[in-house]
Amino acid sequence: MNPSQSLAVPSSEGTWPSKLPDGGVEIGAYMSWAISPSPSAKQAVPGCSVEVLNDPPAYGYSSPTPAPESGRTPQRIPLADIGRAIERVCLVRHYSRRTAATYIHWASRFVMFHDRQHPADLGPIEVTAFISDLAVRGHVSASTQHQALNALVFLYGQVLAQPLPPGSIRAVRAKRTLHLPTVLSRSQVADFFNQIRGQARLVALLQYGGGLRLLEALRLRVKDLDLERHLVVVRHGKGGKDRMVPLPLVAIEPLRRHLQERFQQHRLDLDQGLGEVHLPHAMARKAPTLARQWPWQYVFASGRHSQDPDDGRNKRHHLDDHHIQKTYRLAYRAAGILVPACTHTLRHCFATHLLERGQDLRSIQELLGHSDISTTMIYTHVSTRGPGGVASPADDLLRDN
């Protein structure tokens, strides 16, 4: 995929056509029934428990757009412009472009579910019907249902200036299940690293050595690496939080060589009148010269330039995450690893192997950037200090024989 595509909202979701087609990938698997849902699909399902699924302030929107003053009506956003309005509000609030694309997707699904009616003409009853239908007919997970709900709460509260009343969404709740993470043994991790080369190997070392998410590793800039103190500063991670993680000793010398090559690449870009990099938020306006300075360059840069959607200038973005994912899959296969491992598996291995070495859960929580210790405690179920370390009574049969 072109590196520029990772900067921009995908074309299928970044625009909102005035007349939505009768088919298309943006509606996904629900296209066959979301366009013309049966009346029964929009009603409460007999025999299913109905609960209050949300209170808007609890989903991160504690300061919704205030309602208009009495006697004044808000300007109605044309249906064709709602997608662009969502993207604009998301960027103003410093949400990622992927979040904006996700919110646009769910707003599109919501409009199609209700026969292309304008969201301003709908309300809590219609939102409840859509959210319930995701669980009853769509069989989505609880996290997917909450994601759709958050998108609609954002749409009404921040874009349309029609906040949904607290406790007004009484939807059928999708069943929340416990999914254990996939964790590899230390020998399997070693086999994986024997099969991977290049920049992808360095990314994998940072993920397994510091517990980074894939995009956190790819978005690292030169200034975020402290090779002397063996630390990595993760900027604006999940939830907009910064944190510090260890830099594995095994990665220091390979990183030094890689940074020397990157510096030479940056010098050539400057000689060609290029050498700029995307700056976060208002940095491009406040200090535009930083875009050409070495400390702000991406550690894992793309092999070609791409257009920054913010200003249209050609810049060198970071590596495409899809390329790294494909490289990981090939390495897992070559190493003979049959479990469904992915890029996030190395982060799970980091936490689990630390726990097995005796590291306390509180420290692991800080390294992973988890807000709640209960999220970190999932690794007690997959470590050898948990169920994996319990001796099975069946093993006594071998000793008895």
∠ at Cα 123 (117, 128), nearest 5°?
Answer: 100
CA 234/CA 213 separation, integer angstroms: 10
Closest to 174 (Cα-Cα) out of 132, 208, 232: 132
Q: Helix, strand, coil proportions of the chain in percent (round to 5)?
A: 55, 5, 40
Distance of CA 95 to the CA centre of its chain: 11
Torsion, CA 343, CA 349, CA 350, CA 353, rounded to 10:
-170
Give CA separation, 170 vs 52, 136, 147, 155, 234, in Å: 4, 14, 16, 18, 39
> Strand (E) positions, 144-240?
170-172, 225-226, 231-234
∠ at Cα 97 (94, 100), nearest 5°?
Answer: 90
Rounded to 5 degrees, φ, ψ at 241 are: -100, 145
Residue 376: Cβ within 10 Å count: 20
> Strand (E) positions, 170-281?
170-172, 225-226, 231-234, 243-246
Q: Which residues are catalytic?
A: 213, 238, 344, 347, 370, 379
**Residues 111, 79: contact at Cβ < 8 Å?**
yes
